């Protein structure tokens, strides 16, 4: 989000665990000169997340009733890459990226719509982040990395320079990827892995060094 004193009014889609993180991110943003007002949230589970004083607006399909000409935005607060991709393609609404004020973002980086950048993230010069990604707590993306849309970079991940990650892939907690590596689309890298060679698409891989161990059915 660019800095502005104008309040951004948004709807959140999904109220599971990642929703909690997004609420905290917005709470921190609202301590700065950027203000975000949550108008309500959607979730297919009517008994979904409780504990916050935000208006439940019904199932996700109800989004269609809230598409207006006003300057309101949506953000998909769901951890699943697959669901973020499916929802974003189904509903043609204005999506907004959310950036934690304690993230360090190079002025020479690019972040596309709908992405969440959590606290402690570092994005260096020349980085390009696609649509509806999650860059989770404390992850580091070094210079000239290209991250495809719908990717989840988990907490504590380090991507060295010139790494490319295909869309809908998931880089597990604490993993490290050396420079100039390419990771395909819809691939899952297990937690704590060290990636030292290119990896293809639609695979499960983990270990030190990281090796392909099977296919991934995109179940998360």
Active-site annotation holder among 75, 100, 143, 152: 143
Closest CA to 77 of 41, 119, 33: 41
Rounded to 10 degrees, the C-alpha dihedral 149/154/157/159 comes to: -10
Measure the N-to-C terminal CA separation of the chain; round to a whole number of Å: 27
CA–CA separation, 213 and 172 (whole Å): 15
CA distances from 210 to 157, 165, 175 (A): 14, 15, 9
Q: Is residue 18 flagged as an active site residue? A: no
Which residues neighbour 93 within 8 Å (Cβ) at sequence distance 6 or greater?
63, 67, 73, 74
Closest CA to 84 of 106, 103, 112, 56: 112
Specify burial of residue 147 (Cβ count, 10 A radius: 0-12, 13-18, 19+).
buried
CA 195 from chain centre, in angstroms, equals 21
Closest CA to 8 of 34, 33, 32: 34
Q: Which residues are catalytic?
A: 143
């Amino acid at each position: 989000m660019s800095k502005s004193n104008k309040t951004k009014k948004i709807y959140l889609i999904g109220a599971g665990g990642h929703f909690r993180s997004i609420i905290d991110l917005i709470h921190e943003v609202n301590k700065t000169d950027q203000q975000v007002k949550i108008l309500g949230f959607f979730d297919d589970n009517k008994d979904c997340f409780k504990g916050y004083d935000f208006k439940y607006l019904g199932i996700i399909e109800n989004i269609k009733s809230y598409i207006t000409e006003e300057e309101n935005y949506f953000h998909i607060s769901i951890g699943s890459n697959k669901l973020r991709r499916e929802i974003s393609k189904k509903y043609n609404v204005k999506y907004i990226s959310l950036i934690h004020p304690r993230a360090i973002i190079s002025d020479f980086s690019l972040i596309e719509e709908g992405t969440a950048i959590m606290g402690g993230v570092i994005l260096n010069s020349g980085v390009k982040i696609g649509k509806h990604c999650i860059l989770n707590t404390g992850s580091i993306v070094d210079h000239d990395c290209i991250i495809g849309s719908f990717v989840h970079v988990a907490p504590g991940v380090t991507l060295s320079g010139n790494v490319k990650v295909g869309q809908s892939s998931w880089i597990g907690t604490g993993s490290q990827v050396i420079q100039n590596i390419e990771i395909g689309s819809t691939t899952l890298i297990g937690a704590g892995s060290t990636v030292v060679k290119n990896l293809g698409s639609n695979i499960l891989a983990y270990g030190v060094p990281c090796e392909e161990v099977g296919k991934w059915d995109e179940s998360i």
